[in-house]
């Protein structure tokens, strides 16, 4: 997690108006679609998929009830900056990056804004008999944990009952002197401890949130029928921070303790997801190798020694409004870049962001500007407009792989009078670039650790 912020309720899907099949360099959108829908889509994801949903969108009311996050846009963006800053601090400068080289289960996934650590959430079954819990899934975290009774220190408010391991016949604490306990050190960044012979974990995230508790083995059930026995998880009895109403965190990083590594024999170290363009729609999280769509382009998965759990890629270019930006290759090679499901707003090296911002502003001179919003410095007032034209933005990666940012990921809309470019620049040229989840929407993003590649397929949620 390292303090993954949430996908904002106001980053909404925009309706694209198609004129005669024109493949233009701009999105033409109706301003009315900047207002989020109040209804949850009735569409269901494929069998064996975990549903992904937005915790403050209408789909979330099914899980989280009527309770909503009271976070303002400024608070949300501040949390997102905490997440990005924690990644910057963890990465040592000038460390070379090198390439690394069952049956799938697909889990419905929904966007999770209320969670200060991940933005998108899925529902799992924990224990025997299983108890359903809704957790954030995060590619930037390794340890999976849920809140547990008894809360020895404190537990934050979550929707639904806190899991009580005393009522599960499959729960078992891991002993202090086991090799599994030693695996926690690289995963959490903190030494594991011991209490009455049982292994204790402690994980502190970049925004000051934390979880402390017992390291244990437990059964996880996916989609009601896929049973994973003996999964090592954290049972948090002392938890505090920006987790919203979720029950905990699902770690999808690359360390040995992550769910990806623990299920390697079953799912072959492959998973994918698609994040919905609209909070009223569902996405999915899929464990296993079968792709949802046929046309997927793959770019090499790279590794950085200072952030070994993260998924690095090489950006080779950015296009705005059909024009490739003039950015030296050294700008991207110096910083490196990661795909991260737990950061919302994409962060770019300062030179790359400056070039993007200039090109974007040059193509929107017909609209009045609006005040900056926290880290977002390019904002517009669309009051009085029925239709607006927004330049398309594309990222190009090594291997001739492109990500054409969905129109809903180009703007962060606080209100009609303040619609901002949903990108930000790092201050330091060597700070890692982050492809945030707002810009990943509608793509099937495939993490194939066995192959050493990240795949991108457009139209992945359909």
Catalytic residue IDs: 138, 340
Burial 327-346 (b: 16+ CB within 10 A, else e): beeebbebbbbbbbbbbbbb
C-alpha pair distances (Å), 117 with each of 202, 258, 421, 428, 458: 16, 16, 22, 24, 26
Contacts of 298 (CB under 8 A, 6+ apart): 399, 401, 446, 448, 451, 453, 454, 455, 456
Q: 265 Cβ partners below 8 Å, 6+ apart? A: 102
CA distances in angstroms from 68 to 64, 115, 244, listed in the order given: 8, 11, 9
Instruction: Give the DSSP letter of residue 398.
Output: T
Q: Per-residue DSSP letters for 219-257?
A: EEEETTTEEEEEEEEEEEEEEESS-TT--EEEE-SSSTT
Q: What are 32's two structure tokens?
A: 């009315």
Q: Please report the DSSP string for 324-352 in residue order.
A: E----HHHHHHH-EEE-TT--SEEE-HHH
Read off the tokens for 300: 């090499």
- Cα–Cα distance measured from residue 165 to residue 157, given in angstroms and rounded to the nearest whole number: 18
- For the chain, the C-alpha Rg in angstroms (whole number) is 21
Question: Could you count the other beta carbons within 10 Å of the beta carbon of residue 167?
Answer: 12
The CA-atom distances, in angstroms, between 264 and each of 91, 252, 269, 336 are 27, 12, 5, 27
Cα dist from 245 to 117, 201, 362, whole Å: 11, 22, 42
Question: Is the omega angle on the peptide bond into residue 28 within 30 degrees of 0, that is, cis?
Answer: no
Q: Give Cα separations from 334 to 87, 331, 351 (angstroms).
A: 16, 6, 11
d(CA 344, CA 360): 20
Beta partners for residue 456, in sequence order: 297, 445
For residues 432 and 94, is the Cβ–Cβ distance under 8 A? no
């Amino acid at each position: 997690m390292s303090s993954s912020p949430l996908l904002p309720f106001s980053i909404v899907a925009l309706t694209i108006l198609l004129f005669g099949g024109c493949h233009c360099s701009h999105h033409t959108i109706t301003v009315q679609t900047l207002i989020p829908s109040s209804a949850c889509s009735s569409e269901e994801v494929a069998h064996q998929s975990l549903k992904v949903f937005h915790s403050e969108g209408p789909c979330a009311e099914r899980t989280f009830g009527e309770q909503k996050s009271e976070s303002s846009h400024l608070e949300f963006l501040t949390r997102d900056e905490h997440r990005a800053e924690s990644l910057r601090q963890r990465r040592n400068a000038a460390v070379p990056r090198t390439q690394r080289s069952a049956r799938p289960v697909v889990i419905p996934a929904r966007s999770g804004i209320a969670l200060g650590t991940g933005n998108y959430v899925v529902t799992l079954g924990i224990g025997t008999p299983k108890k359903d819990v809704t957790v954030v899934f995060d590619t930037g975290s390794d340890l999976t944990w849920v809140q547990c009774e008894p809360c020895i220190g404190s537990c934050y408010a979550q929707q639904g009952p806190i899991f009580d391991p005393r009522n599960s016949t499959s729960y078992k604490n891991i002993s202090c002197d086991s090799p599994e306990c030693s695996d926690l050190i690289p995963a959490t960044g903190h030494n594991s401890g011991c209490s009455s012979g049982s292994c204790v974990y402690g994980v502190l995230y970049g925004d000051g949130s934390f979880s402390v508790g017992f390291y244990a083995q437990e059964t996880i059930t996916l989609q009601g029928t896929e049973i994973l026995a003996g999964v090592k998880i954290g049972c948090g009895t002392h938890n505090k921070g920006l987790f919203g109403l979720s029950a905990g965190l699902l770690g999808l990083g690359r360390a040995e303790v992550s769910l990806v590594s623990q299920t390697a024999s079953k799912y072959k170290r492959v998973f994918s997801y698609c994040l919905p363009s609209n909070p009223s729609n569902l996405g999915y999280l899929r464990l296993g190798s079968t792709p949802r769509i046929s046309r997927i382009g793959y770019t090499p998965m790279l590794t950085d020694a200072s952030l070994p759990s993260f998924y690095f890629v090489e950006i080779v270019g950015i296009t705005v409004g059909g024009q490739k930006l003039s950015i030296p290759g050294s700008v991207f090679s110096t910083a490196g870049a990661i795909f991260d499901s737990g950061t919302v707003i994409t962060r770019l090296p300062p030179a790359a962001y400056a070039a993007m911002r200039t090109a974007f502003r040059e193509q929107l001179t017909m609209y009045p500007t609006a005040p900056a919003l926290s880290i977002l410095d390019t904002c517009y007032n669309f009051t009085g407009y029925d239709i607006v034209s927004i330049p398309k933005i594309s990222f190009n990666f090594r291997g001739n792989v492109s990500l054409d940012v969905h129109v809903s990921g180009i703007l962060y809309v606080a209100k009609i009078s303040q619609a901002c470019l949903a990108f930000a620049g790092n201050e330091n040229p060597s700070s890692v670039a982050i492809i945030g989840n707002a810009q990943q929407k509608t793509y099937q993003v495939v993490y194939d650790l066995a192959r050493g590649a990240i795949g991108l397929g457009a139209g992945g949620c359909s």
